[in-house]
Amino acid sequence: MNILFAGTSDIGIPSLRALMTEHQLVGLLTQPDRPVGRHQVLTAPATKQFLEKEKNSFPIFQPENLRDVSFLEKLRALQPEIIVTMSYGKILPRELLELPSVACLNIHTSLLPRHRGATPIQAAILAGDEETGVTIMHMAEGLDTGDILLQKKIDLAPNETAGSLTQRLAELAPEALLEALSLLEKGEAPRNPQAAAGITHTRQITRADAAIDVSRSAAELDRLIRAMNPKPGAHGTFQLPSGKTIALKIFSATTAATTSSEKPGSLFLSQDRELLLACGQGTLLLHEIQPEGRARMSSGAFASGHFS
């Protein structure tokens, strides 16, 4: 089948690769190149970089306006039977939803209707979910409201981070997508409306969302740290035994069995010289951190420099 893929971030690359090898990819729809980083270097989306690195000649479309008439005419000329989207970053207007002759599908990284929206991977970790997965759905004009074609589930590991879960779901997505496309080819693809119960919504994560509130429990902060790893990185300002404060990002920590009478937000050492953070309830054992203006380091390296 002729398929147009719409995707921007690297989570979509395994699915893009699967379409290139198993179906007839007719083009890529992705976001325009954007300035990135401190020096605002104009950078192409990950999916575009992938195609260019693979030296493929598929047409690449990067419109600012998805309703642009000339852009839509170019897509119609490709005669796509299916549009597949994954982490594209824009809601497709009706003009695009009605363009393919067979279906317009979205790959969403949660078990809908739970965690609709932009950050379902982080939301699953923050909520302490035991399972998540990939949903292949028929697209509608609402935000992740379309009928479900199929779902694939996985369990979350106890130490799951946003980075590790993103990789696992990226690898699961092609399996789900190819199965869904096979059902469409056979005329056996279901359209199951999403349940009215259990709907939750997510939004884009800001740096403020990654701030560590030390009045919260160690278990909550453990989930926050894992959900914000690798970016934007859970961060806060903490107190050293000397009374001085220090700004840190925390990338890895676990809840500790150690009990403490230390004030929440205090950094201290265990008898084994492990770096601990007192929380509103319980204690966190810190593993990997980054002092402001410094490189990431082990908590042991940090402790050696700040504790006598």
Q: How many residues does the chain have?
A: 308
**What pLDDT shows up at residue 175?**
98
The fraction of the chain above a pLDDT of 90, given in percent, is 89
Least confident of 75-84, 100-109, 140-149, 209-218: 140-149
- Domain edges within the chain: 2-202, 207-306
**What pLDDT shows up at residue 260?**
82
pLDDT tens string 23-60: 999 999 999 999 988 889 899 999 999 999 887 778 99
Element (H, E) at 162: helix 162-186
Would the pLDDT of 9 be above 80?
A: yes
Q: 207-306 sits in which CATH class?
A: alpha beta
Who wins on pLDDT, 305 or 11?
Answer: 11
pLDDT tier for residue 271 given thresholds of 50, 70 and 90: confident
Strand pairing of 201-202 and 116-117?
A: parallel
pLDDT tens string 115-141: 999 999 999 999 999 999 999 999 988
Would the pLDDT of 308 be above 90?
A: no
Q: Taking Cα atoms as reference points, which of 223, 251, 253, 248 lies closest to residue 237?
A: 248
Please compute the mean of the pLDDT values over residues 151-167 and round it to a whole number: 97
**What pLDDT shows up at residue 132?**
98
Contact 269, 303 (CB under 8 A): yes
How many whole angstroms separate alpha carbon 274 and alpha carbon 307? 11
pLDDT tens string 214-240: 999 999 999 999 999 999 999 999 999
How many whole angstroms separate alpha carbon 300 and alpha carbon 135? 41
**What pLDDT shows up at residue 305?**
84
Instruction: Identify the bridge partners of residue 148 per DSSP, sorted by sequence position.
Output: 137, 192
Please compute the mean of the pLDDT values over residues 169-183 and round it to a whole number: 98
Would the pLDDT of 307 be above 90?
A: no
Fold agreement (2-202, 207-306): no
Please compute the mean of the pLDDT values over residues 160-182 and round it to a whole number: 98
CATH placement of domain 2-202: 3.40.50.170
Would the pLDDT of 262 be above 80?
A: yes
Instruction: Identify the bridge partners of residue 138 per DSSP, sorted by sequence position.
Output: 105
